[in-house]
Chain A
Amino acid sequence: MNTCLDYNTETHLVQKKMDIDLPLCSRPSASGKITQRSCAFYGARWMLAPLEDAIHIVHGPVGCASYGGTVRGRSFPVFSTALEGKDIVFGGAKRLIKTIKEARAIMPHARYCFVYATCSTGIIGDDIDGICRDMEKKLGLSIIFVNCPGFIGYSQATGHRIAYESLLNRLIGKGRRRAIGDYDVNIIGDYNINGESEVLKALLGEMGVRVRCVFTGQADYEGITNAHRVRLNLLICQNSGRFLAEALQKRYGTPYLEVTFLGPTQTMDSLRKIGHFFGLEKEAERAIARGYRAIRPGLDRFLPRLKGKRAALFFGAARMASLIKALDDIGMEVVFTGSQFADLPTYRSALQAVSQGTYIIDDASEHELEHLLNDLRPDVFMGGIKEQYLSHKFGIGFCCFPQIRRAGPYVGFHGFLNFARYVNNALYAPVWRLARQG
């Protein structure tokens, strides 16, 4: 196993044994590594792109805007200052000012505007913050500087945090007075992948809980600026959202609950937790009973086929522990799990969820993933699109997570059925049998 592990960070791969050991994480990648990580700009775009009522200006050469236009499998309109050689030499300030004015003229209905820094503008040192404040006064529009040049931090997690910080410091709390319903909540850390936010809203709606804003899957100016006027925050992605949930608690006294809706066990737990908080225990039980009854026949069909199969995970960070528990609901075993940028609490909860002998790896390179796949031979591998085709080359079925192609949302009761069906497809696609016959 150790053949592949001679980067300086040897202990970024651990095996769960009797003694509890966590992988080294939150460290920069070694250079020369074929890393799966991305940059702070990527993280910030991932967070803020779905705010479609805002203007998004990428201050830098055109490439970053080109890439940053596609987030979570969708394309979003994006403005760029498209810096050229002379701007790099003489500074891009003038261009940025003109761009903001023009963008405003093109999208006059926008209420706020994000200006992203990139590597180039980070290094040439344009005073973007000053320009933003200046233009904000002139144009009467909130212009928010997102300081996310690509070289900041060690991965996109930095970008997630910067994005949440900019929302927290510049927008949250600005909203006009709005009546707070008794059962109003925000969801933090759900990114509306394949309509997951809608599913969550419907599920909570069944109990009588109203979702005001989903960070950042379904958020708009109203929702964000009034984010402090709720009774409770539901924290779904612990890695990226914990910062915002804690800040809201500290600043506005809104409590938060860590919940997750992957797999029936956790969905039930979460619904009960929320029911308990609001005193809606009966409604919660009713929603659980109805939801679970609806998927029983489907589960009876899929689960026996999946039981005992071995899965491997490597993805962002988002819900590592909760995905492991959802797989446990299916009856699948996890042979290795890893993430690009998870922090220690995420790894700790993942470690508790996995069984003995499971490998946990932080920031695996492509080389290490190849070795892990080849040596451990899982039946199915779950990760992002970059790993998908590598896995296929080794004849291992693949599930895209969390960005799902051609599969419904995974959350909630029906989502679990979708998930089971999706895993089943990856496992039993005839192509793997045919490939082995060749």
Chain B
Amino acid sequence: MTTPLKLNGRLTIKDLNALPEIPIEGITYDQMYIEKQPICPEYIAPDPNIIPSSKRTVVIDPGRICMPFGAMWASVGVHGCIPFVQGAQGCTTYPRYTFSRIFREPVSIATASFQEDTAVFGGRKNLIEGLRNLIIRYHPEVIAIVTVCSSEIIGDDMEGYLEEAQDALEEELGPDVLEETQFVIIHTPSFEGSHVEGYNRAAKAFLKTMARRTTPNNKVNIIPGMITPGDIREIKHILRLMDIEGNILFDISGTLDCPLRLPQAMPYYPKGGTKAEDMKDMGNSMMTFALCPDEGGAGARYLEKRFKIPAAIGPVPLGIHNTDIFIKDLAEATGRPIADEIKDERGILIDAMADTFHYTMGIRVAIYGDPDIAAAATRFCCELGMEPVLIGSGTESKQFVKDVWAAAHEYNLKPTILNGSDMFEWEDYLKKDKIDLILGNSKAANVSKEADVPLVRIGFPIYDRVGYQRRAYVGYRGGEYLLDLIVNTILDSKFPDDRVHQ
């Protein structure tokens, strides 16, 4: 075998001339061997027995965040809603910091400001005083009360406290205040799940509190899950083309990606978000689509059980197959024909795939992310002729394994699946294998650099590059964008510049 090539444009002309020969038909894949480099000089490979996360208790560089974060993400997507976090200050400040890093937007989240005495006496006083303080200053339309580890362990009786708080508010500010402001309680003890479950619980809690059945409408419900504002805009675009009206729950496209227009009204409230009356109306719809099975599936199931609204749960409409399912379901549920424009969009994506499969075929790819997105990305990679060999999800999910196996079976692959794993395990597998490309969030950036494998950023969270939150990955047009990202990354890293000119 010839000397392994160092890629990423580190070759100079001199190095190239020094090599014995360059194959005329291009650089073959087995020559694209990537040397594994340890993190630091004194790096000692860990004991192989403790690498699988199932065999150890310690979690290293977790790929998941806490449950309240998911609930806050959901609540931020509601118009005029301020989450009230029944916990210490860090439980609001860390999420606000995370939102700011990802979306580059201000996010208002109030804290119950737990102190030592709260840990002893409970958070009753904090909730009652806090809600009053919040309402007087912000007049929010909805307050989402999010519990955290501490209040759940103390055992705060949130429902009881809220009733007390409402009585006190009514007495002080008059009965109107309870009509103007609605309260939703979301129980999110972080030790029982990750942000994925938090979003799921928020979907159920909001629908349980808000949705009512009055007169049937001709709308569909969409529970998007933790996808980007750009994704939600793409879903709206699809609905518009199909001439379908939709109620989108937790519409962050208008709250976490806002225009800067002067002069700014006071106090600052984003214009967008799901309105309370739309949420109420969700009890009347024809069908519910939960795009991410683990993020929002519980909401769809609740509506199915309570109001007999049929639910279509997952998969994320990312890539050809999954988007086909979504469009077909939409058409069947509403009885509308599939719009010609949508068929054109599909054709454009297919055309782009036909133009680029030479680059993508056979590329070995490792994927890491939240379960729903990772499963959908796996299928899309298969559709591009790539070989997903390592698929990890930070949160444990049965649906994720099922979806990935279905895709793998269809395309005759046997990937390694890490369900509910951490970055440490995933990184170890990645380094032992020959991987050409990583699809993952920003947490994979360090690994990608260290192992010298290029990274395509997708999923949550992406904080080290700009603009990803505005882009759509779902739908056919989102597929185009993701395809371009993947192919351009391969071109950047795998081929010398002078070989891509035709």
Contacts and interface: CB of A to CB of B under 8 A. Distances in A.
A120 B262 contact: no
B229 to A, nearest CB: 14
A149 B153 CA distance: 14
Interface stretch (A96-104, A193-201, A270-278): A96-104
A35 B111 CA distance: 7
A253 B350 CA distance: 75
Interface in A86-112: 87-88, 95, 98-99, 102-103, 105-106, 108-109
Nearest to A52: B40
Interface string A216-242: 000000000000000000000000000
A393 B268 contact: yes
A386 interface: yes
Contact of A61 (B42, B105, B191): B191
B165 to A, nearest CB: 10
A386 B108 CA distance: 10
Contacts of A42: 90, 93-94
A256 B278 CA distance: 63
Contact of B150 (A6, A151, A386, A438): A151
Interface string B113-132: 11110110000011101111
Contact of A438 (B82, B114, B129, B261): B261
A63 interface: yes
A357 interface: no
B8 interface: no
Interface in A146-160: 149-156
Q: Which residue of B56, B67, B89, B111 has the most chain A CB atoms within 10 A of its CB atom?
A: B89
A34 B134 CA distance: 8
A345 interface: no
Contacts of A106: 46-47, 50, 58, 60, 424
B58 A395 contact: no
B492 to A, nearest CB: 22
A392 B154 CA distance: 39
Contact of A33 (B69, B101, B113): B113
Contacts of B87: 119, 150
Interface residues of B, number: 81
Given A39-B91, A81-B58, A386-B100, A123 B136 contact: no
Given A67-B65, A385-B101, A392-B260, A31 B42 contact: no
A122 B260 CA distance: 43
Contacts of B137: 365, 367
Interface string B55-79: 0111111101111110000000000
A35 B92 contact: yes
A82 interface: yes
A366 interface: yes
A332 interface: no
A46 to B, nearest CB: 11
B113 A393 contact: no
Nearest to B128: A31
Contacts of A139: none
A7 interface: yes
Contact of B133 (A33, A75, A149, A150): A33
14 contacts: A31-B127, A32-B133, A33-B130, A61-B149, A62-B194, A66-B66, A103-B58, A106-B47, A106-B50, A150-B88, A150-B114, A371-B266, A389-B106, A395-B260
Interface of B: 42, 44, 46-47, 50, 56-62, 64-69, 82, 84, 87-94, 96-98, 100-101, 104-106, 108-116, 118-119, 125-127, 129-134, 136-138, 148-150, 153-154, 189-192, 194, 258, 260-264, 266-268, 424, 443, 446
